[in-house]
Amino acid sequence: MKVLSIQKATKIYGSSVQVKAVDQLSLEVNEGEFIAIMGASGSGKSTLLNLISGILPLTSGDIFIRGKSILGMTEEESAIFRRDELGFVFQDYNLIDTLTIGENIMLPLMFTGKDVKTMQEEAKDYAKKLGIGDLIGHRIYEVSGGQAQRASIARALIHHPRLLLADEPTGNLDSASAQEVMRQFVRCNEEEQVSTLMVTHDAKTASYCKRVVFIKDGKVFNEIYREGKQLQFYDEILNVLKFMGGE
Ligand SMILES: Nc1ncnc2c1ncn2[C@@H]1O[C@H](COP(=O)(O)OP(=O)(O)OP(=O)(O)O)[C@@H](O)[C@H]1O
Ligand SMILES: [Mg+2]
C-alpha cells in the first residue's frame, strides 16, 4: 500500500490577493521510501508538508495517508491522526527548553497510558539508538544543535509513526552535525522502515535520500532516483538544480 498519495493537491492562500502555493501537485510515496523535496524559496515545500499533516486545509485535490483521505476529518480526528500516524522534525527542533532531553523524547508517549517507568525506558532506548544516551538528563541549552536535532528525531519516532515529515532538519546545523543527523535518518529508514519526506535546500543533505522530488511554482518539476553512489547522486542533484535555476 502507498503510505502517501497526493492527488492534484492545490493550496491558494489569501482572498483579495491570492497566492497559489501548491498547484495541482500529485505525488505517490511507497512504504519505506526516503524522499527529499527540493525547490527554491517560496516554491511551496513547507505548504505541501502542512497540507499532508492536515495543519492547513486543501483548496482542492485530496491526500491519502495509508489509504485514508484527510478530507472530511474533523479537527479532532485530524489531531488524533497526526498524533498516531505522523512524526515531525523541524529546523529549530521544537523541543521544550524546560524539560530534559529524556523528557522531551518521552512526550509523545504521555497519552498512551503507559506507566512512567516504561516511558522512561523507551525514551532511553531511543536516545541510545540516536547516540545521545548519556545526555538524557541534560536540558536543551546544555547540548549542541546536532544533539538537539537527534533528540527531536527520537521524539518523532518513539511512537512509531507511519510517515516522518521533516522541514529543513539540517538547516541550523554545521556540516559535521548535519551529516551525523542525516546518518541517523538513513539508519531509521533502513532499520525501522520509516517512510520519510524531507524538505531541504542542501544538495549534500538530499544526497542521503533515495529519491529527490524537485518543486517549482507549487508543481513537481522533476524527480530523480538514486541508483549509484551517494557522491554521484549529489552531482546529479546539483545538475538538476542548475538546470532549474538556469531556466
Ligand atoms: N500564510 C500564508 N499566507 C499567504 N501566503 C503564504 C503563506 N504562507 C506561505 N505563503 C506563500 O506561499 C508560497 C509558498 O510558501 P512556502 O512557505 O510553502 O515556501 P517554501 O518552499 O517552504 O519556501 P522556503 O524554502 O523559503 O521555506 C510563497 O509565495 C509564500 O509567500
Ligand atoms: Mg519552507
pLDDT at residue 247 in the model: 54
Whole-angstrom distance, CA of residue 203 vs CA of residue 53: 25
Query: 49-81 pLDDT, tens per residue?
Result: 999 999 899 999 999 998 999 998 888 988 888
Residue 41 CA to ligand 2 center (angstroms) comes to: 7
Q: In terms of C-beta density within 10 A (0-12 exposed, 13-18 middle, 19 or more buried), how is residue 208 classed?
A: buried
Q: Per DSSP, which regions of 18-159 are E strands? A: 19-30, 34-38, 60-65, 68-69, 86-90
Calculate how far, in angstroms, residue 173's C-alpha sits from the geometric centre of ligand 2: 16
Question: Cα of 63 to ligand 1 centre, how many Å?
Answer: 19
Query: Could you give the CA distance from residue 31 to residue 147 in angstroms, rounded to a whole number?
Result: 28
Which of 169, 176, 225, 177 has its CA nearest to residue 35?
225
- Of all protein residues, the one whose alpha carbon is nearest to atom 18 of ligand 1 is 44
**CB distance 55 to ligand 1 below 6 Å:** no
| Closest by Cα among 154, 130, 127 to 138 | 127
| % the chain with pLDDT above 70 | 99
**Cα–Cα distance measured from residue 38 to residue 108, given in angstroms and rounded to the nearest whole number:** 29
pLDDT confidence of residue 81? 86
Cell numbers at 128, concatenated: 541510545
Spell out, as residue ranges, where the chain has pLDDT lower than 70. Answer: 246-247
DSSP single-letter state for residue 100 = B
- Of the residues 10, 11, 12, 13, which should be mutated to test ligand 1's pocket, given the most ligand atoms within 8 Å of the CB? 13
Ligand nearest to the CA of 41: 1
Nearest atom within ligand 1 for CA of residue 13: 4
Residue 20 Cα to ligand 2 midpoint, Å, equals 15
87 closest CA partner among 156, 188, 184: 156
